[in-house]
Chain A
Amino acid sequence: MLRPFGSVHGCVVVAALGGVALDSIDAFAQDCCLGGSATGVNAWTNGLATSAQWPATTQSSANMAQSPANADPVPDWWYHGDIEAGGRFFLNNPSRNGARYLGQGGLAKFYEYSTVMPGAFGGGHIAAGSKDGLYGIDLWANNIGYSDQSYFLNASKIGEQYISLGWDQTPHVYSTSAQTPYSGVGSNALTLPPGLLSNTAHNSSIINPYLQQTDIGIERDTASVNYRWRPTDAWDVRAKYSHMSRTGTQVDGVTGFAPAGGSAPNSPTEVTKPVDDTTQNFGVNGEYVGTSPWNQRFTFKVAYNGSVYNDNHSSYTVQNPYCTGATASSCANKTESPFAQLSLPPSNQANAVSETLAAELPFKSRYVGTLNYVMMTQNGTFQPMTDNPNAVTSPSGVPWNSIGALPATSLNGAINTTLSNNILTTQIARDLKSKLSYRYYNFENNTQQITFPSWVSYDQTGSSHENTISSLAISYVKQNAGAELNWRPSPDWNFTSGYG
């Protein structure tokens, strides 16, 4: 909400935008619609310039005679804004870092997307512009200094150029009371203290001394810029770019750890998965508005959009608590690995081109059609089937812990989608409208199908392995067609009949 610094400036701004009447606000409001003085010619009298005064009202003659020309002059530049600042305290502090197992309150939900803690807070908005309304600038600041702070700047030359800059921080807290014995939280290698490594079963009395509190959550920082240029009324060109980085941890479940005589598949362990990636989205489009050969309006737009996702870790390792050292022989179960290796989302890219045509047609019809083509690719290097240092030789003659044991070293994944959307509307009568639509969406997965003659689970040695398995590239085509008739006999009633 805008609160002007001064009433004088607020009045001037409103008056300037109002155009002719540079009156004071009160006088303007009172005179409006109460008769006033029609000193000029008007339609009622059909041009009698001397027919000036309407019947006198109770308004003071001073108000009624006030000339619009007596308003304060508009400055070359106007400005207004507001600043919000304060302090926060709690009668009962939510205790953000409380540990549940100690009977304390852990309010991760309260802090899920923001930091609400005792202390100062502040934000504000400043706007400025030229008196002719041609140039303008706005700056917003929210939650300054906090984990969810954001800043936005908009600047424009009306009708020609517009630019927006933004910086936003969005936390996502899952837990503030998590406990973990692992070191290296947030990295791609989780290790245990030597005192916790044992080939026997662990219980709370053994684990608890090694627990340390850790937050589980991610911080999403986004920088963005948008630019718009209108060289003429017919052309509209836009460009955008955003860079989003995520850092933090999320929760994963790990299987493959079991004490002596235990079953690895039935013993999941929850660990913190590292999150450290960036997403860049960018695009440019141009739109042209013109007149068709049949003298009606049409709009044509072409666009390119791209996206690059980069994960700084392709995988991470988790130390097996049932192995006393870093070698396979130290493990309680000799087929297990001292470290479990889990995959992380691979880096990928997407590129899209599209065009949209909208044209007004005869008989009060209008056609809008869109054709989009998207290409999604991913070709990250595979991790080995197992990272077990005691891995046996695979049927291919290469140890299971080598990439050479795999039928392919990367996926070479490619998914292409094609969208064609078409809509034809016709205003048959003032209250009757028809709509014909057809949509074609082809999800074409060109990723190669890879067959693994055998595979190893839980990072075991591979002395026993699973049977043949193949990846499956999912593709589909979806088509929708429809015909609608819409009848609106009154603003309160709307009847639609359709088939699709």
Chain B
Amino acid sequence: MRRVHGEEGVSVSPEFPSLAGQEAQYLADALRAYKEGTRSDATMKAIAESLEERTINDLASHFASLPPAQPAPATSVEGQPAQHEPLLVRNGIVASLDERTINNIASYYAGLRPSQPASARGAPAKREPSAVREAAPADRRSLGGIISFRRDDLGRTAEENNAICLGCHRRGERTYWDGSVHETRGLACTECHTIMKTVSAEHQLKTAFEPNTCFQCHKDRRAQMFRSSHMPIREGKVVCSECHNPHGSATEALLKEDSVNDTCYKCHAEKRGPLLFEHAPVRENCLSCHNAHGSINQFSLKTSLPRLCYECHTIGHAQAGRNSQFTMGRACLNCHTQIHGSNSPAGAVFQR
């Protein structure tokens, strides 16, 4: 091994890597991989198969303890040694790593369990190369500064990952993110958004159909969307973000406007008024009577007519039967047709 990997672990041949200063855990795992055949090399396999577990650990510890050699100065065009920049920058990443190396290193660390004990499988305690120990910042980034936004990466919380996005995007629609219901529930930006590819037409969402992003969690709203009386959400004409701001807002239910009614007035401005004769529950809240996400009753009402009206009104129209205008068709609205309010002087009971 000394002939191949050099005296003191510093290889003199470009065909064989240096082992001096390598991380002991890595060396031990590499030898085990050769022994098990999960890493293929005929020469190393033959060597590793002859090693016992204790020998593997001893070899790994030995080479990890050796000082790594410094790079040989390159020769400039004029024959003078060129000055290399420091290869490792304190608290920084190694800028000279190529793309494949970065991916390989990231994959290695990503494959480690976060609770890896110091002496996994009998290997000596992990000993980080000194340069890497100095370079690793406190935010638990992987070597090279790679951050995994994956949901199963337990090394980082959603808040920590979100902080990276919010470094630029904590403004505009995200102003109310802190303390919002989604933030409080630990929702990560990557639960809804993907920036590495384009899926949706806008907002970098994970689904082409925007409501499907919300329906990941809000299954009840998806079910309501399919009811007979509904706004054209499933037809692709209305999306959730036309009324709601999922990043937080100053209004209940993450509505974009100051109130429920102000939200509805964006498309239904004919109800805004003010009107001469107001219907009080209409002025207070459209949801007093309607279910905005869908209903089995006509006009997306919460309850069928005339029972909806009976929630507040006890009336003298007690007639029933198949020909009764008080219960059939639009029931109370057969006569009280201006139910949202009337601007007519004769409209006190919403009939004109």
**Which A residues lie at the B interface, using CB under 8 A?**
1-2, 20-21, 31-58, 68, 109, 112-114, 138, 140, 142, 148, 150, 152, 154, 168, 170, 172, 220, 236, 244, 251-255, 265-268, 270, 277, 279, 281, 287, 289, 297, 299, 301, 307, 309, 311, 315, 340-343, 345-346, 348, 350, 356, 358, 366, 368, 370, 372, 374, 376-378, 380, 382-386, 406, 411, 413-415, 417, 419, 421, 423, 425, 430-431, 433, 435, 437, 439, 441, 445, 447, 450, 452, 455-459, 466, 469, 471-474, 476, 484, 486, 488, 491, 494, 496
Q: B234-267, CB under 8 A of A: which get 1 and which 0?
A: 0111000000000000110000001100100111
Interface size on B, as a range, is 35 or more
B344 within 8 A of A: yes
Q: For A421, give its contact among B15, B250, B262, B347 (CB under 8 Å).
A: B250
- Return the chain B residue nearest A446 by Cβ: B274
Q: For B178, give its contact among A1, A417, A423, A447 (CB under 8 Å).
A: A423
Contacts A36-B101, A52-B14, A413-B274 given; does A366 touch B178 at CB 8 Å? yes
Residues of B near A494 (CB, < 8 A) are: 184-186
Contacts A289-B171, A413-B274 given; does A253 touch B337 at CB 8 Å? yes
* Complex: A277 Cα to B343 Cα, angstroms: 16
Residues of B near A385 (CB, < 8 A) are: 345-346
Q: B141-179, CB under 8 A of A: which get 1 and which 0?
A: 001100000000010011000000000001110011011
Contacts A113-B235, A383-B345, A385-B345 given; does A419 touch B258 at CB 8 Å? yes
- Please tell me if the beta carbons of B236 and A142 are within 8 angstroms of each other in the complex: yes
Interface centre among B12, B202, B345 (most CB of A within 10 A): B345
Q: For A350, give its contact among B178, B272, B338 (CB under 8 Å).
A: B272
Known A55-B39, A299-B171, A342-B344; 12 more pairs at CB < 8 Å: A43-B135, A43-B144, A48-B69, A49-B71, A50-B14, A236-B172, A279-B270, A343-B338, A346-B275, A378-B273, A382-B343, A491-B154
- Please tell me if the beta carbons of A415 and B274 are within 8 angstroms of each other in the complex: yes
Residues of A near B97 (CB, < 8 A) are: 40, 42-43
B87 within 8 A of A: yes
Which of B17-25, B51-59, B117-125, B289-297 lies at the interface? B17-25
A-B contact pairs, 17 of them (CB 8 A): A1-B208, A32-B104, A33-B104, A33-B107, A35-B104, A40-B98, A43-B94, A50-B72, A170-B232, A342-B337, A376-B272, A378-B272, A382-B276, A433-B179, A455-B346, A473-B278, A496-B184
* Complex: A350 Cα to B257 Cα, angstroms: 13
Residues of A near B41 (CB, < 8 A) are: 55-56
- Please tell me if the beta carbons of B99 and A21 are within 8 angstroms of each other in the complex: yes
- Return the chain B residue nearest A288 by Cβ: B171
- Please tell me if the beta carbons of A47 and B17 are within 8 angstroms of each other in the complex: no
- Please tell me if the beta carbons of B14 and A457 are within 8 angstroms of each other in the complex: no
Residues of A near B267 (CB, < 8 A) are: 220, 244, 279
Q: For B96, give its contact among A40, A44, A112, A423 (CB under 8 Å).
A: A40
- Return the chain A residue nearest B331 by Cβ: A253
**Which B residues lie at the A interface, using CB under 8 A?**
10-12, 14-18, 21-23, 26, 39-41, 44, 68-72, 74, 87-88, 94, 96-101, 103-105, 107, 129, 131-132, 135, 143-144, 154, 157-158, 170-172, 175-176, 178-179, 184-186, 198, 201-202, 208, 228, 232, 235-237, 250-251, 258-259, 262, 265-267, 269-278, 280, 283-284, 325, 329-330, 333-338, 342-349, 351-352
- Please tell me if the beta carbons of B96 and A382 are within 8 angstroms of each other in the complex: no
- Please tell me if the beta carbons of B72 and A254 are within 8 angstroms of each other in the complex: no
Residues of B near A42 (CB, < 8 A) are: 94, 96-97, 101
* Complex: A452 Cα to B232 Cα, angstroms: 42
Residues of A near B184 (CB, < 8 A) are: 433, 435, 484, 486, 494, 496
Q: Could you tell me the distance in whole angstroms from the C-beta of A483 to the nearest C-beta in chain B?
A: 11
- Please tell me if the beta carbons of B276 and A268 are within 8 angstroms of each other in the complex: no
- Please tell me if the beta carbons of B171 and A51 are within 8 angstroms of each other in the complex: no
* Complex: A383 Cα to B347 Cα, angstroms: 11
* Complex: A112 Cα to B71 Cα, angstroms: 74
* Complex: A268 Cα to B251 Cα, angstroms: 41
Contacts A33-B104, A46-B21, A48-B69 given; does A474 touch B280 at CB 8 Å? yes
* Complex: A415 Cα to B352 Cα, angstroms: 23
Q: For B201, give its contact among A140, A148, A170, A268 (CB under 8 Å).
A: A140
- Return the chain A residue nearest B184 by Cβ: A486
Q: For A491, give its contact among B186, B269, B333 (CB under 8 Å).
A: B186
Residues of B near A236 (CB, < 8 A) are: 171-172
- Please tell me if the beta carbons of B342 and A281 are within 8 angstroms of each other in the complex: no
* Complex: A439 Cα to B21 Cα, angstroms: 60
* Complex: A400 Cα to B42 Cα, angstroms: 108
Contacts A48-B10, A289-B171, A457-B346 given; does A33 touch B103 at CB 8 Å? yes
* Complex: A406 Cα to B276 Cα, angstroms: 13
Q: For A439, give its contact among B72, B74, B250 (CB under 8 Å).
A: B250
Residues of B near A411 (CB, < 8 A) are: 274-276, 343
- Please tell me if the beta carbons of A277 and B270 are within 8 angstroms of each other in the complex: yes
- Please tell me if the beta carbons of B351 and A458 are within 8 angstroms of each other in the complex: yes
- Please tell me if the beta carbons of A413 and B275 are within 8 angstroms of each other in the complex: yes
- Please tell me if the beta carbons of A343 and B175 are within 8 angstroms of each other in the complex: no
Contacts A236-B171, A385-B346 given; does A48 touch B18 at CB 8 Å? yes
Residues of B near A423 (CB, < 8 A) are: 176, 178-179
* Complex: A254 Cα to B351 Cα, angstroms: 7
- Return the chain B residue nearest A114 by Cβ: B235
